[in-house]
Amino acid sequence: MGLKRSPTIVGRSRLGLPILATLILTLVALGLSPATSASIAPFHDLSATMSADRTVAAPGDPVTFTIEVSHIPSKTKLITVDDSLPAGLRMDSSSEPGGCSRTDTMWSCDPGAETSISIRMYTIVEESARGKELINRAVIETGSRQRGDDHEDEDEGEHDSEDGDGGRPDPIAVEAAVRVIASDLRIRLVATQSEARPGEPINYRIEVVNGGAGPAVDASVTARLPAGVTSDSVYPRATTVAGDRLTWYLSQIPVGSHVFLLNASFVPTAIVAHVLASASVSYVDSNGDTPQLLEAVLALPVASDPPTAPSSPEASLPLGAVGLMLAAAAGGLLLVQRFVLSPRPTRLRIDQMFLLHRGGLLMKHFSAGVGGGDPDIQGAMLTAVQSYLENSVDSSAGPLRQITFGGREIIFANGGNAILAAVIRKGDPAVFFAQAPRFLADLEARGGAAIANWDGVAERLDGIDDAFRDFTKELLTHRGT
């Protein structure tokens, strides 16, 4: 009996599905271009970075930029690094691998077998960059040995053109930023006196100048006084006073000049050759993050032989009186009647005068007498005058006219921007009250802005010594009532 076989359609269908899938996968694999897979795949991991050795710099500072190119594929033939150095940075030199050549700020490198290269740019920050943020940028591009390596291989050329960019990846852009400080601070400490004399005042002037393009912030200015020197008054008022240190705290120091004035008394407790004072300013630049400190020092020589006070006119009065009495006895009753029986009213006699700014700062100390008074109490007198001025703020009571200190009278005349204080030895102060306002008005008219905006520079009061001498003579020509 013969057997008849029927086709197993179900079996054929089960076997056909895997075969069909395998065929499709094979066709997809064959459809990939060998040139494309060889050119693109190796570049997928290429990377580059740029860094700067500092993020904040000042004009004149060196800044080193480092460009790192890594994960270079083995068949890479050419790497170009094109750096666009910003204005404000000057190229000084560079270091690069032996396979690199540089033209200005562009490098062409053949990495050979290396998988990474490093290029360093050594630059200098220029003054024109002050206050700016400088961003240095570079573009890295690569080439491949397959591209143009064999001109006879037309198939590879066709594959490169089909890929659209010749098998090269997109350029890599990197950058690094440097902030250039804006401020440019200097500090100076001077005194109006060329030497220090015991018992006499010392007028210090601290000048902080910001010649930059922006402010300094979180600032403090500190004055440190030497031994034997005590502060009498300051302008502007110090934030803190701790022993020999006076400190002004400032939220910022803008561009321009800033003056701090300090009047002090020198009463040494020991013999010294110099008095050494110092001033400092601490700050952070508005573009920076690191505190900066500047200092200035001033050494004043101590006068070795302070001038001794010659006999004042008052000291010679007893001798003069004796002479007059002898002359009266020898010359007759007329002279006795004139000088003894009918004495003239006493002239106003002034030891010292202090010209102060309306804020209490001493502008000029003038010794009216030949000897200038007792040098041991001059500083104490000035302190007393300034203390009374500072505490006499009740405008309803009117301007201060007269106080008593150490058995002597101190009288005052008030001008628009200045106050004149005179220490009386004897006599009627009415003459002073009558003449001083005109004298002050003349001084303010001549001094102008130098008095109105007093900055501690004594040279701005040109001719003031002669003016005081003339005023003193004028007072002597008037007799009291």
Task: Kindly report, residue by residue over 168-196, the tens digit of the pLDDT.
Answer: 668 999 999 999 999 999 999 999 888 99
- Rounded mean pLDDT, 227-235: 87
- Rounded mean pLDDT, 373-393: 60
Are the beta carbons of 438 and 420 closer than 8 angstroms? no
| 313 has pLDDT over 60 | no
The least confident of 92-106, 170-184, 229-243, 323-337 is: 323-337
Measure the CA–CA gap between 413 and 174, rounded to whole angstroms: 72
- Rounded mean pLDDT, 90-96: 96
| 239 has pLDDT over 80 | yes
Residue 401 pLDDT class (50, 70, 90 cuts): confident
The least confident of 71-85, 292-306, 446-460 is: 446-460
Cα dihedral sign, 250-222-301-235: positive
| 315 has pLDDT over 50 | no
Backbone dihedral angles phi then psi of residue 342, each to the nearest 5 degrees: -130, 65
Q: Do domains 41-180 and 321-476 have the same CATH topology?
A: no
Residue 150 pLDDT class (50, 70, 90 cuts): very low
Measure the CA–CA gap between 375 and 472, rounded to whole angstroms: 20
Residue 378 pLDDT class (50, 70, 90 cuts): low
The least confident of 164-173, 228-237, 281-290, 297-306 is: 164-173
What HEC string does the chain produce? CCCCCCCCHHHHHHHHHHHHHHHHHHHHHHHCCHHHHHHHHHHCCCEEEEEECCCEECCCCEEEEEEEEECCCCCEEEEEEEEECCCCEEEEEEECCCCEEEECCEEEECCCCCCCEEEEEEEEECHHHCCCEEEEEEEEEEEECCCCCCCCCHHHHHHHHHHCCCCCCCCEEEEEEEEECCCCEEEEEEECCCCECCCCEEEEEEEEEECCCCCEEEEEEEEECCCCEEEEEEECCCCEEECCEEEEEEEEECCEEEEEEEEEEECCCCCCCEEEEEEEEEEEECCCCCCEEEEEEEEEEECCCCCCCCCCCCCCHHHHHHHHHHHHHHHCHHHHHHHHHCCCCCECEEEEEEEEECCCCEEEEEECCCCCCCHHHHHHHHHHHHHHHHHCCCHHHCCCCEEEECCEEEEEEECCCEEEEEEEEECCCHHHHHHHHHHHHHHHHHHCHHHHCCCCCHHHCCCHHHHHHHHHHHHHCCECC
Share of the chain above pLDDT 70, in %: 68
- Rounded mean pLDDT, 259-265: 89
CB atoms within 10 A of CB 439: 21
| 143 has pLDDT over 80 | no
| 38 has pLDDT over 60 | no
Give me the chain's average pLDDT, please.
76
- Rounded mean pLDDT, 234-249: 91
What is the structure's pLDDT at 471? 85
| 79 has pLDDT over 70 | yes
Residue 19 pLDDT class (50, 70, 90 cuts): low
Residue 386 pLDDT class (50, 70, 90 cuts): low
Residue 448 pLDDT class (50, 70, 90 cuts): confident
Record: fold of 41-180 = Immunoglobulin-like (2.60.40)
Burial class (CB in 10 A: 0-12, 13-18, 19+), 117: buried
- Rounded mean pLDDT, 112-116: 90
What is the structure's pLDDT at 164? 44
Residue 468 pLDDT class (50, 70, 90 cuts): confident
Residue 431 pLDDT class (50, 70, 90 cuts): confident
| 122 has pLDDT over 90 | yes
| 39 has pLDDT over 60 | no
| 10 has pLDDT over 90 | no
Measure the CA–CA gap between 272 and 306, rounded to whole angstroms: 14
| 115 has pLDDT over 50 | yes
| 142 has pLDDT over 60 | yes
- Rounded mean pLDDT, 250-277: 90
**321-476 under CATH 3.40.50.2000, yes or no:** no
Name the CATH superfamily, with its identifier, for domain 185-301: ntegrin, alpha v. Chain A, domain 4 (2.60.40.1530)
Residue 139 pLDDT class (50, 70, 90 cuts): very high
| 360 has pLDDT over 80 | no
Structure tokens at 43: 């570049």
Structure tokens at 100: 């690199």
| 400 has pLDDT over 80 | no
Residue 243 pLDDT class (50, 70, 90 cuts): confident
Q: Which of 292, 341, 41 is nearest to 184 (CA)?
A: 292
Q: Residue ranges of the domains in the chain?
A: 41-180, 185-301, 321-476
